[in-house]
Chain A
Amino acid sequence: MLAFIARRIGVLFLILFGSSFILYNLAAIAGDPIGELRFSDDPEIQAQIRELEEFLRLDVPPPLRYFIWLRGVLGIFTGNLDLGLTRLRLPVSGEIATAMPITIRLVIFATIFAIIVGIALGIVTALRQYSRFDYSMTFFAFLLFSLPIFWVAVLLKQYLAIQFNTFLSDPQITTSWKIGIGLVGSIFWASLLGSKRGNFWKVFAIVFVATFAFLTFVDEANWLTDPALGPVLIGLLAVGIAFGITYLSTGFGNKAALYASLTMAPLTVISYFVVSNSLNSSSSIPQLLRYALITIIVAVAVALGFARIDRGPVVRTTIITALLSGHLIIVDKFMQTWKPYMEEGSVSFRPIPTLGQAKELLTPNEFWISTLDILVHLFLPTIALTLISFAGYIRYSRGTLLEVLNQDYIRTARAKGLNERTVIMRHAFRNTLIPLTTIMVVDFAGIVGGAIITERVFGWYGMGTLFNRAITSQDLNLLMGVFFITATLAVMANLIADLLYSALDPRIRVGSGK
C-alpha cells in the first residue's frame, strides 16, 4: 500500500511538471506582455520596455524561463514557496491566499446541496424506474445539463433577486399563487412518494392542503419580513425530524431508536431557552461547534440509556436527529436576524443581492448579521451552481443503484425476508456510495476551475477573477500560480479518490498484483 502511494505521488509530480511546462510555454508563446507598450508614444517608452523585459526575464526563452519559475515552486520543500510576483509587483502567493477561501466558500455549499439532492432524486428515480416521475426527472436532468451557467445566472438575477426584492417590499401572497405553488409542490411530492394510484391522490391532497396552509400562515404571520420559529414550532419540527430520521435509518420497529430520537424534541426546546441568551452579537463559529459537541454527548447518553442491545444504530440515529433539531435553534436565530438585516442601511429592504460577496454593513461586528449577509450573498450563486451540477448526480446515482439492485446479494437480502427499507438503505444504497465517492472528490476539484464563469457573472473576487486578470493583463506568474493550485487540487483529488475507493470497497486492492 505504502509503495503504491509513493509511486502514485511520484507520477503525480511528473504529471504536474509536464502539464505546467506545457501550459507555461503555451501561455508564454500566446501572450505578448509588452504588446500594449509598443504602441505608446511616451518618450520614456524604451526605458519602460527595457525595465519590464528585465523584470519579466523576457531575455530568457520560455522553455528555460519555466525553470526559473519552477525553482521558486520547488521551494515548497524547503519551506519557502515562491510563486513569483505579479505585474503589479505583489507576491502571487498572497493574492491566492486571499482568493482561495472565497472560491471555496462559493462552491462548497453548492457541491454539498448538489450531492444530497442529486443522490436523493437519483435513488427515487431508480426505485421508480420507467415511471412518469423517472421520465420527467430524466428530462429535467438533460435540460440542466444543457444550460449555460451564464444564461441561468442572468435569469436568476432577474427573477429571484430583482423581482423577489420588489415583491418583498410589500409581500402579499395572493390566492392564485398559493394554489399554483401548492399544485406544483403536490404533483412533485405525490409522484415522488405515491407509487400506486390511490396513494398518489392521498399524498397529493395532503401536500396541497399543507402547502396552502403554510403559505397562508407565512402571509398572515408576516414571515417574509419578520420570521421566527419560536419554541412551539421548534418542538413540532423536532418531533417530525425524529420520526423521519428514525424511519430512514432503523425503521419504527426499533423502539429504542424511536424513543431516544423523540426524547431529543423536548431537550431541543429546553436548550432553546438555555442557549438563546448566549447566542448574541459576540457569538462565533467555535462557540457553535462547542454546542454541537455538547449536543452529540447528550444524544449519545440518551441513546445509551434507551438501548440495551445493538446500540450502534440507535446512537447513530439519535446523533443525527439531535444535530438536525439543534440546527433549528440556529435557523431560528437567523430568522430573528432577518428583520434587523433588512433595516441595515446598505440593504434597505432589498435583501437578495445580484453581485458581490459581502456588503459594507453598519454593524460589522455583529456576528449574526454579518453571517446572514454572507449567506444571502451565497444565495444566487449556490442555486446556479447546484442547478447545473446536480443533474450529473441524478443520472449517475440512478445508474449505479439500478446496477446494484441487479446484484445477487440484493436478491439474497430480499430472500431472507428483510424489509424493503433495509434492503435499499443498508444493502443497496451503501454500495451505491462507493463509486459515487470518487465522482464527488474529482468533481469538487474540478468545480474550482469551473468557478471562473460563476465568479465573473456574480462579481466575486476569487480564483476565477485572478485567472481572468492573469489572462487579460498577460500576467504569466499569476496565471501559473492559479494553475498550480487548481492542478494540484485536481491530481490530489484523483489520488484521494483512488485511495478512498480501495478503503470503501474491500474487493479492490490498489497496488497489489503488480
Chain B
Amino acid sequence: MKIRRKSKEQALEELTIESGENAIANKEVEGLTQWQIIRRRFFKHKAAVASLIFLTFIIVFVFSAVDANFGPIKTKGWWKWSPDDLPDLRFGDCPNDTIGCPTISLVPKFLGGAGIGLGEHPFGQDDIGRDYFSLVMKGTQRSIQVMFIIGFFAAIIGTVVGAVAGYYRGVVDNVLMRFTDFIITIPAVIVGSVIGAKFGNLGAIILAVYLGLFAWTGLSRLVRGEFLTLREREFVDAARVAGASTRRIIFKHILPNAVGVIIVSVTLLLSGAILLETALSYLGFGVVPPDVSLGLLINQYQDAFTTRPFLFWYPGFFIVSIALSINFIGDGLRDAFDPRQKRKITKKEKQNARAIARNQA
C-alpha cells in the first residue's frame, strides 16, 4: 500500500486554513446580539426568505381579494364578484365544449397569447355559475384562519404543559405526560372527525379551536425535554439564588432560551394543520357548506377533473403552495436557531483563507 506523506509545509498550511475557516465563521458574529445572529442566519437561507415573501404575498392577496371578517372588523374585497353572486354561466369560446372555463391568461401578447390579464372569471365558474376565483379566495381565507387558530392554541397549551412538566418534574411531570399520551393515542383524524361531525356545523372558527385543543401534544413533549435540560443550567441556579419567583424563572429565564424549539415546531405544526383541515373538510367532517374551504372545494369538484380540471387544480395549488412555503420557513428557522449549525463554506471563501494563510507563512 502506498502511503502519501504530506510535507511539513502542506500540513501547516492545512492547519492554518482550518483556523482560517473558523475565523470566517467567527468574524461574522462579532459584536452581534443573539437575535441579530439568528436574523442574519435566517436571511441567508434563500428558500426560506423567498417562501416568507411568497406566503406574505398570498395572505395579503387572499384576504384583500374578497370580503373578509376579522372578528368584528369587516373588510371589503377589491374583486368584483363575491362567492354569493350568481353571474351568468359562460358558454362558448371554451375548449372541448365545457362551460365556465377560466379566463386568466399569463402569456403576453408578443408571444402570441391573449395578453396578461385576469378576465371576467380568472379561475372559471362552478356548476351554477359562481365565480370560482372568489370561491377559492374565500376557501383559502378559511383554511388560513383555521390553520392559524389551531397553531395559536396548540402553541400556548403545548408550551405551558411542556414548561410546567419539565420544570417541576416528578409527579406533576408524570401526570401531565401521561395525559399527553392519552391525547396522542387518539389519531388526529379520528378526533377531528368526531369533533368535526358535531362542531363543523357551528362554524369553522369553533372547529379550529377544538382541533387546536388536541394538536399540542408533540410540542409539549419537545418543550418538556428542553426545560429538563435548561433547568439544570447555572443561570437558572443564579436566578433562584437571587430570589426570583418560579413564574419569573420559567417565563423570563428559561422560556426565552427554549423559544427556538417552540417557534420551529409551531411552524411545522402550521403546515400539518392546514393539511388536517383540508383532509377533514374533504372527508366531510370539517368545514361544511355553505361555508367554503379548500378541502371542501376539492371534494365537491373532484369528479369534474376529466372535463374541467381547473376546478381541481386551483384549490390544490393554494394548499400545496401554502404548506410548502411554511415548511421552507420552518427549515430556515431551524437552521437559524440551531447553534450547532455549520454553515457551508464556499469555494471563494476557502481560496481567500488559503491566500491569507500563505501570506502569513
Q: Interface on A for B, CB 8 Å cutoff?
A: 11, 14-16, 18-19, 22-23, 26-27, 29-31, 130, 138-139, 142-143, 145-151, 154, 158, 162, 417, 446, 449-450, 452-453, 456, 467-468, 471-472, 479, 482-483, 486-487, 490-491
Contacts and interface: CB of A to CB of B under 8 A. Distances in A.
Interface in B1-37: 1
A446 B187 contact: yes
A22 B182 contact: yes
Contacts of B185: 15-16, 19, 487, 490-491
- Main secondary structure, interface of B, reads helix
B185 to A, nearest CB: 4
Contacts of B312: 151, 154
Interface string B282-302: 110100000000010011001
Contacts of B331: 138, 142
Contact of B271 (A145, A150, A417): A145
A487 B186 contact: yes
B348 interface: no
Contacts of A148: 275, 278-279, 282, 295, 298, 316, 319-320
Most buried by A among B185, B302, B306, B319: B185
B187 A450 contact: yes
B40 interface: no
A264 B327 CA distance: 47
Nearest to A158: B305
Given A22-B182, A486-B187, 18 more contacts: A14-B178, A15-B182, A18-B178, A23-B194, A26-B195, A29-B198, A30-B197, A130-B344, A142-B324, A145-B271, A146-B319, A146-B327, A148-B298, A150-B299, A154-B305, A450-B187, A471-B194, A490-B185
30 contacts: A15-B182, A16-B185, A18-B178, A22-B186, A23-B190, A27-B194, A30-B199, A138-B331, A146-B271, A146-B320, A146-B323, A146-B327, A148-B278, A148-B279, A148-B319, A149-B279, A150-B282, A151-B320, A154-B312, A158-B306, A162-B306, A449-B187, A452-B190, A453-B282, A468-B283, A471-B193, A471-B194, A483-B190, A486-B187, A487-B185
B328 interface: yes
A146 B324 contact: yes
The 7 closest A-B pairs by CB, nearest first: A449-B187, A30-B198, A146-B323, A146-B324, A19-B182, A18-B182, A19-B185
A146 B319 CA distance: 8
Contact of A449 (B190, B198, B306, B319): B190
A482 B328 CA distance: 36
Nearest to B197: A471
A31 B198 contact: yes
Given A26-B194, A154-B302, A453-B283, A145 B187 contact: no
